Amino acid sequence: MLTAGHPTRRRLPTRRRLPARGGQEARRGLLAALGAYVAVRATGLVALAVWSAANGKSAVTLLSRRWDSLWYVRVVDQGYGYVLTAPDGRRLSDLAFFPLLPWLERSVSWLTGLAEPDAGLLVSAVASLAAAAGIHAVVRRSVPDRPDVAVAAVVLWAALPVGIVQSMAYSESLFTALAAWSLCCALDRRWIAAGLLASAAGLTRPIGLAVACAVLVATGTAARRGGVSARLVAGAVLAPVGAAAYVLWVGARRGSLFGYLDVQKGWGNGFDGGAAFARFTGGLAARPPYVGGVLLAAGVGVLLWGYVRGFRDGGPRLPLPVQVYTGIVLALALCSSGYFGSKPRLLMPAFGVLVPVAAALGRLRVRWRVAVLAVCALGATVYGAFWLNGSGPP
């Protein structure tokens, strides 16, 4: 334990508080970020509604009653245990879907009287705002001398090509919100809150592992530099509990310690170091029209550039917990052998790679910065409406 007057150890600095003026600037920045986020996503939803109506489809159905959202609703209605045999013989179990979103859908449906799919949309809407605020908070702490970077990072996250998923009854927004605020609490040394949020993230998606690892790195670094406290230990212990509890429960239900891995294998998911994804990208680049593979490789290059840039002093240099979290999300998404159409949305929680891009935008004149962000938002609007009216996210 750290004691007063200890000759060799020093106390960690207390959580930094912004002065009154700085606090006002932070609030204005947050409001600007949330306002821009709502504008981008609302535009995307309007475009989706118009496009869907023109095709004789319902935007609400596309957002809440197709693909994975149906699996979550089935868990709400029937509990776990459903297995679908795919045409190729694979056995798809609903145990692949973590339970926090179904729990929230059931609770919101009970409280509001909404149907479960519509409750999922409400959960996603609130969670997406919380995620935007959390990203702003993390980036503001990571790059404290550049408040514009935090706002730009939120807008870039809203304007991702698959940003429409943030408005669907999917778990991406919920997970990103929990992950961002867990990281924020870890950076502020609020260890119990960081651990609880990491545990909740672990009940939301398999990549909850990334949040738990980030909190463990933060607590380990703090312990090495300034000693151990009860709150620090509690945060470290709590962080992996959610993910571990669900994985162990699935294992017990299936009679195997590695039962969850067997479930994922049934879906065709596994960790192969990126070999399958490389073959897929190479295949696209080797056959007409060729451009698909080139664009995909370029997109991965931008992601890796953003991640590496976050380690550099001129980058901006991101805190170690944010680097760890972002790196694990990237590794799990790019190095898995699952359905490749899912990868863009699986990468969505890796918001750390957007920070160097946002910092680079900050060096442009305001009108050029606004123009770039507007083009990104317009592209996301058109692509989102096209995507959900076509193949859509699996």
Q: What is the pLDDT of residues 258-276, one digit of tens each?
A: 899 999 998 888 887 777 7
Q: In sequence order, what are the beta bridge partners of 366?
A: none
The answer to whether the beta carbons of residues 278 and 340 sit under 8 Å apart is no
Name the token pair of 51: 């496009």
Q: In sequence order, what are the beta bridge partners of 42?
A: none
User: Which residues touch 14 (CB under 8 Å, ≥6 apart)?
Assistant: none
User: Which residues touch 135 (CB under 8 Å, ≥6 apart)?
Assistant: 150, 153, 154, 157, 176, 180, 351
For residue 9, the model assigns a pLDDT of 38
**By three-state DSSP, how is residue 84 classified?**
strand
For residue 160, the model assigns a pLDDT of 94
For residue 362, the model assigns a pLDDT of 86
**By three-state DSSP, how is residue 285 classified?**
helix
Measured distance CA(310)–CA(322) in Å, rounded: 9
Measured distance CA(233)–CA(203) in Å, rounded: 21
For residue 226, the model assigns a pLDDT of 83
Residues in the chain: 394
Q: If you ran DSSP here, which 8-state letter would residue 12 be given?
A: P
- What percent helix, strand, coil does the chain show, rounded to 5? 70, 0, 30
Measured distance CA(89)–CA(107) in Å, rounded: 35
Rounded alpha-carbon distances, angstroms, from residue 71 to 77, 97, 128, 159: 10, 8, 20, 27
Instruction: Look at phi and psi of residue 16 and say left if phi exceeds 0, alpha if psi is from -120 to 50, else beta.
Output: beta
Name the token pair of 130: 């919380």
For residue 20, the model assigns a pLDDT of 46
Helix 208-226 and helix 230-238, axial crossing angle in degrees, nearest 10? 160
Ranges of the chain whose pLDDT falls below 50: 1-20
Identity of the residue numbered 361: L
pLDDT tens-digit series, residues 209-260: 999 999 999 999 999 998 899 999 999 999 999 999 999 999 999 999 889 9
Which candidate, 140, 249, 138, places its Cα nearest to that of 186?
138
Predicted model pTM: 0.92
For residue 290, the model assigns a pLDDT of 64
Torsions phi, psi of 85, nearest 5? -90, 115
Measured distance CA(80)–CA(97) in Å, rounded: 9
For residue 2, the model assigns a pLDDT of 39
Q: In sequence order, what are the beta bridge partners of 91?
A: 85
Torsions phi, psi of 392, nearest 5? 65, 170
For residue 10, the model assigns a pLDDT of 36
